[in-house]
Amino acid sequence: MSNVPLIQNLYAAFGRGDIASVLGALDANVEWREAEGNPYQPAGEALVGPESVLQNLFVKLGEDWRPFVVHPRDFHDAGDTVVMEGRYTGTHKVTGKDLDAQVCHVWRLRDGKITSFQQYVDTAQLQEVMRPS
């Protein structure tokens, strides 16, 4: 059975602002990694557990962006791994600068739960949009 529908539903929930459903899909020990150089996790170290993802990423995205939107485009099924190619858009609340960045997400699953997430994005673009002029 493909894991792609589960991940597609996750993006739909995120788009609706249903963060509880997103967090509910995560394993209790999920390892969530933003791209190295991402302003939210510059060293690329893992956020571990749903509460850490919520507090250290999702809350900050809500505070910083008007709105922050993930636009999934293509999904690639690799068994226990699903890859999504898409874009991020949004306007940074402090700088007023717009973001339109290509993104790739790698999701790993076990027994219907997400055990790891890895983001790949143009972090220089993120830093520029978030940097006050």
Helix, strand, or coil (residue 25) = coil
Reported as a single tens digit per residue, the pLDDT across 9-23 is 999 999 999 999 999
Reported as a single tens digit per residue, the pLDDT across 61-113 is 999 999 999 999 999 999 999 999 999 999 999 999 999 999 999 999 999 99
Hunting for tokens 């060293």 — which residue is that?
A: 43
Tokens of 27: 């394993």
Burial zone of 10 (CB within 10 Å; 0-12 exposed, 13-18 middle, 19+ buried): buried
- The CATH code of domain 4-130 reads 3.10.450.50
Domain ranges (residues) in the chain: 4-130
Reported as a single tens digit per residue, the pLDDT across 31-58 is 999 999 999 998 889 999 999 999 999 9
pTM of the full structure: 0.95
